[in-house]
Amino acid sequence: MTAIAGLVRLDGQPASRAALERVQGVLAPYGPDASQSWLRESAGFVRTLLRITPEDSLDFQLPYDAASGTLVLFDGRLDNREELADDLGIGGAELATLADGMLTLRACLRWDDGTPSRLLGDFALACWQPSRRRLWLARDPMGARPLFWHRHSDFFAFSTMPKGLFALPQVPRELDEEALHDGMCLLPMTGPRSLFKDVWRIEPGQVLTLEQGRIAARRYHDFDTTRELRLSSDDDYLEGFRHELERAVARRLRSRGAVASHLSSGFDSATVTAIAARQLAERGGRLLAYTAVPREGYALPSPRGRYGDEGPGARAVAARFPNIEHVLIRSGAVSPLKGLMRAMERLDRGPANPCNQVWIDAIEADAVQRGARVLLTGQMGNMTISYSGEPYLSELLAHGAWGEWWRELRALKRHGSRRWRGLLGASLGPYLPSWLWRATLPLRENGVSAVTSYMAINEAFMARMDSPRRIRAAGWDTTCQPWGDGRKMRIAVLRRMDWGDSSAAANAAGLEMRDPTADLRLIEYCLSLPGHQYLRGGQTRWLLRRLMGGVLPPEILGAKERGLQAADWHEGVSADLAGLKAEWQRLSEHPTVGRYLDLPALRKILDDWPEEGWHDHRVIGTFRMKLLRGLAVGAFVRYVDDRNS
């Protein structure tokens, strides 16, 4: 993986080498293995490289074509090298000498800004065509790699991370209040806004072009909301699924070092781990598998429907594969405040879940120490391989298939832990008027409709931002009213967040995060399947259960409850109560934090610290979510302002 940045002067003045060196310096932690720069007249570009794949050992210079003057900066991993080589007429012997960036240059020379639609993998790239004074930037459709830009009256600049832009003194480091508000409200990331004023993100699946001083953006990829695959048998659907999933995992095993994976007791990480272990075993490779578990002897109750130790289920998976080295990570005694500043330095934002950041950091550090360069995840699995299929109930009603709907409803009640109320809500909820759905919220356990229940946001800030209008405009229902179209729901969730900065942050730890469940071809296959492939005979995740039935143990396949990550999170937090109060004091003394946070509400939470009841949903929502997220937001605001001063 790579961090890239560039500067194009719009006023005809030469690009500053000193400016490029500053940018290169702040991006160095994301690519410590090598760095290069390129400076010609009014344009300059830099790259810092973290060598992950075998082909990265071939990468010694910025891809440049002397005949046309075209320069490419490539950050990412190509998963269809052989396909591209065939299309470009590149033979196998020559392909073996090309790094991914050089192969991308060859593609850009052939297809220009049509290149991104032909690339498969995680990537962000920039292509400079000096003869046309033209620069174009692009990100992959899933946004696995980040890219930001800034337009000044005298220049245009881009960078993998915002901090690269702030190395230029003309780029202000100021919060974008609208983006901050939307992030605090957990609204979908729509449009190009970032958390910083006048710093914009290239959106996933987008090409942005700067030509003769003019900027234009277009989408080159959109998911199809209507395409439905029609095959002759269930086995045909299953074989297609097997093919795409196996390939998605195989594409993500290229590594110069060891391969590791997250392994919880859930379907997604267990599936990814099992398939990766099997494929690595075929070539004599081993797999490190990591499970975050509570301290030994932890026996406090878990919330209803959850269990607090994912170790036994994960251990049962690992036991089936002799080449898995299973590592348990116990980090509950660590305060989320400990790594908060480091996380912000790497992310250029506050962590979304400070509790989870503790064990994520611990896993990454241990994996690097053991020689891993790749860490597999199953982040998008719920919307792809392990999609439950529950919206199929409402789809059956919409198509008048009342008999089939009733059979599935009764079967779900027999097989699952859902109550009739929940099943009827999933079936009828999409068709209720919004006011009527909101009226049912007090009747539903854990129903949440108010933003202030999960974020300590200042109500005056919400009024100034006109939160109800922004929430409506974002098209995201904070009352969690069910969707009537499972395909559209999954596409909306897949687009909701931009995880590119998390990917870059892992690079700063020395790793590349790879998610087979976010493979574009796998996603498009999963989206194309009819609902009856996911919900059948009262079994949710029917397709994945069939595929992994002989592979995963009963502890995974037959689980009626879900594992709870970091079940002992409250111990590290409680032990650092004095530190939390000290952080609150720093925030309360800051001149701007109080504009955004409800500091009195946070203080009340700290003063009402419980001795027990940590399994209660309301306690978790207040102390794990509202308090810790609020402190993280406040620390980020302080971090931005303090850097300016």
Contact indicator for 217, 206 with CB cutoff of 8 Å: yes
Cα distances from 278 to residues 250, 338, 423, 513, 595, in angstroms, run 10, 37, 37, 20, 53
100 is in an annotated binding site: yes
Residue 356's H or E segment, with its range, is helix 354-369
> Which pair of tokens denotes residue 222?
């959109």
Closest CA to 116 of 38, 52, 204, 55: 204
How far is 415 from 536, CA to CA, in rounded Å?
11
Strand order across the 206-211 sheet: 71-78, 121-129, 134-139, 206-211, 214-219
Contact indicator for 409, 546 with CB cutoff of 8 Å: no
Q: What are phi and psi of 592, to 5 degrees?
A: -120, -20
Residue by residue, DSSP assigns 149-216 as: EEE-SSEEEEESSHHHHHTSTTS---B-HHHHHHHHTT----SSB-SBTT-EEPPTTEEEEEETTEEE
Contact indicator for 626, 605 with CB cutoff of 8 Å: yes
How far is 212 from 210, CA to CA, in rounded Å?
7
| DSSP assignment letter at 320 | T
DSSP, collapsed to helix, strand or coil, labels residue 610 as: coil
Instruction: Report the DSSP pairing between strands 287-292 and 324-329.
Output: parallel
Question: CA neighbours within 13 Å on the CB side: how many for 60?
Answer: 3
Instruction: Report the DSSP pairing between strands 206-211 and 148-151.
Output: unpaired
The β-bridge partners of 291 are: 328
> Which pair of tokens denotes residue 367?
């994996």
Residue by residue, DSSP assigns 521-560 as: HHHHHHHHS-GGGT-BTTBTTHHHHHHHTTTS-HHHHT-S
Closest CA to 143 of 454, 499, 421, 538: 499
Residue 565 identity (one-letter amino acid): Q
| DSSP assignment letter at 13 | P
How far is 616 from 614, CA to CA, in rounded Å?
5
Residue by residue, DSSP assigns 439-499 as: HTGGGSTT----GGGT--B-HHHHHHHTHHHHHHHHT--TT-PPPS-HHHHHHHHHHH---
3-state helix, strand, coil in the chain (%, to 5): 45, 15, 35
How far is 513 from 502, CA to CA, in rounded Å?
9
Annotated binding site: 100
The annotated binding site for L-glutamine is made up of 100
